[in-house]
Amino acid sequence: MMHSTRFATLLSLTLLSAGAYAAEGGGAPGKTVEELAKPCAACHAADGNSTNAQYPRLAGQYHDYLARAMQEYKNGERKHAIMAGFVATLSDADIDKLARFYGDMPTKLDDLAHYEQGD
């Protein structure tokens, strides 16, 4: 009896910590960046150049800025229900992989340096 109670406590503690690990964004080991990017494509397009103006173009954006944005969605500094849901399960390594994946795509973005500014 005593034994089984202890076992149950141990088991529930193990399950709890596993849950906590997942909630902290333990990532999805073994997932390729293409697999990680699948949900992103629904809004941001497979080539990272969303044609729906509501969603930002990611292709060719600086990868460290993309990573920063994802981290901000994850820690709540930026509030967006959909993005918060997606990044919650990503580890730092996943975020970095995704950021470089989109950052390396052919871009339609540019630095403002190449344009006329002000009057």
89 vs 107 by CB, closer to other proteins: 107
**Pick from 67, 70, 90, 95: which binds other proteins (CB under 8 A)?**
67
Of 14, 28, 32, 62, the residue at the interface with other proteins (CB under 8 A) is 62
Token output for 20? 């906590």
CA distance 59 to 103: 5
Q: Which residue has the tokens 């949900």?
A: 39
Phi, psi angle pair for 54, to nearest 5°: -65, -30
- Judged by CB under 8 A, the chain residues 77 through 116 that form the site for other proteins are 77-79, 107-116
- In whole angstroms, how close is the CB of 71 to other proteins at the nearest point? 9
Under the criterion CB under 8 A, does residue 54 sit at the interface with other proteins? yes
Are 69 and 57 in contact by the 8 Å Cβ rule? The answer is no
